[in-house]
């Protein structure tokens, strides 16, 4: 998951879909400031290549990132050399400070395999908030949203690279198992690789209970940014 080959082309095929990380981040900034107008610091958990964090860095006095995949973290460091970026696992991390907002975007929490792991991650994020701090988490799909055998395809071209991506989803226990195949072409030729992603279909109630157990209020805002909505909470 998120190895070197994928990290290199990760943003290309999502941009071909029309994904706009800056616009999504601006919406999150608005949600945070509606709940904490004086918010000055933010932690981006599972920050990936730093595509959202670049905007957070501009909009807050202080921003940091946490990422478990070394290839993604390296790209984030290249993009944001002045931003503190930490290797770490969302299930159990401690940065020794709090932030006015903690966010976890683009369904990253879905990669956790059990409800206990998800609750641990929400608890770890909430522990980095002061009273009144804001927690924003973008979930993976809920169980009723799963479409067995769903196929998606994308084709992107940037900077001399052509990237084709096709995925096939099946139900594995209570998770979506996506087999994702890539073809990448450039002047040197064409190469192929496969990624297997397994994302747990947590229920809305399980997310809500995790926020409550971590000492946060919670509301679910359906829809944006990617159709899966957002959970937004405020620390007691």
pTM of the model: 0.97
Q: Where in the chain is the domain with CATH 3.40.50.150?
A: 4-142+202-234
Architecture of the domain whose range is 144-200: Single Sheet (2.20)
Percent of the chain exceeding pLDDT 90 equals: 96
Query: Cβ distance 63 to 44 under 8 Å?
Result: yes
> Whole-angstrom Cα distance, residue 41 to residue 38?
9
Q: Where in the chain is the domain with CATH 2.20.130.10?
A: 144-200
User: Tens digit of pLDDT for each residue in 25-43?
Assistant: 999 999 999 999 999 999 9
> By three-state DSSP, how is residue 78 classified?
helix
Instruction: List Cβ neighbours of 173 (8 Å cut-off, separation of 6 or more).
Output: none
> By three-state DSSP, how is residue 109 classified?
helix
> Whole-angstrom Cα distance, residue 69 to residue 136?
21
Q: Is the pLDDT of residue 3 over 90?
A: no
> Whole-angstrom Cα distance, residue 185 to residue 27?
34
Q: Is the pLDDT of residue 199 over 80?
A: yes
pLDDT-derived band of residue 71, with 50, 70 and 90 as boundaries? very high
Architecture of the domain whose range is 4-142+202-234: 3-Layer(aba) Sandwich (3.40)
Query: Cβ distance 228 to 210 under 8 Å?
Result: no
Q: Is the pLDDT of residue 66 over 80?
A: yes
Strand-pair partners of 166: 153, 181
Q: Is the pLDDT of residue 23 over 90?
A: yes
Dihedral of the CA atoms 25, 26, 28, 32 (nearest 10)? 130
DSSP strand E in 28-130: where? 41-45, 62-67, 85-87, 101-104
User: Tens digit of pLDDT for each residue in 135-177?
Assistant: 999 999 999 999 999 999 999 999 999 999 999 999 999 999 9
> Whole-angstrom Cα distance, residue 81 to residue 24?
22
User: Tens digit of pLDDT for each residue in 95-137?
Assistant: 999 999 999 999 999 999 999 999 999 999 999 999 999 999 9
Query: Cβ distance 27 to 87 under 8 Å?
Result: no
> Whole-angstrom Cα distance, residue 140 to residue 8?
23
For residue 1, the model assigns a pLDDT of: 63
């Amino acid at each position: 998951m998120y190895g070197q080959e994928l990290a290199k082309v990760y943003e290309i095929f999502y941009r071909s879909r029309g994904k706009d990380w800056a616009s999504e981040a601006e919406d999150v900034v608005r949600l945070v400031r509606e709940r904490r107008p004086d918010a000055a610091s933010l932690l981006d958990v599972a920050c990936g290549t730093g595509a959202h964090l670049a905007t957070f860095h501009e909009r807050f006095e202080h921003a940091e990132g946490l990422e478990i995949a070394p290839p993604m973290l390296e790209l984030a460091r290249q993009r944001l050399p002045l931003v503190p970026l930490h290797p770490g696992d969302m299930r159990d991390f401690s940065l020794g400070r709090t932030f006015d907002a903690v966010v976890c975007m683009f369904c990253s929490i879905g990669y956790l395999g059990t409800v206990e792991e998800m609750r641990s991650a929400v608890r770890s994020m909430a522990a980095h908030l002061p009273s009144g701090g804001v927690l924003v988490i973008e979930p993976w799909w809920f169980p009723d949203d799963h479409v067995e055998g769903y196929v998606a395809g994308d084709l992107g071209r940037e900077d001399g690279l052509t990237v084709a991506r096709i995925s096939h989803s099946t139900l594995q226990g209570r998770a979506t198992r996506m087999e994702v195949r890539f073809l990448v072409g450039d002047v040197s030729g064409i190469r192929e690789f496969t990624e297997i992603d397994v994302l747990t279909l947590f229920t809305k109630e399980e997310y809500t209970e995790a926020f409550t157990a971590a000492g946060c209020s919670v509301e679910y805002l359906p829809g944006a940014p990617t159709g899966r909505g957002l959970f937004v909470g405020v620390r007691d």
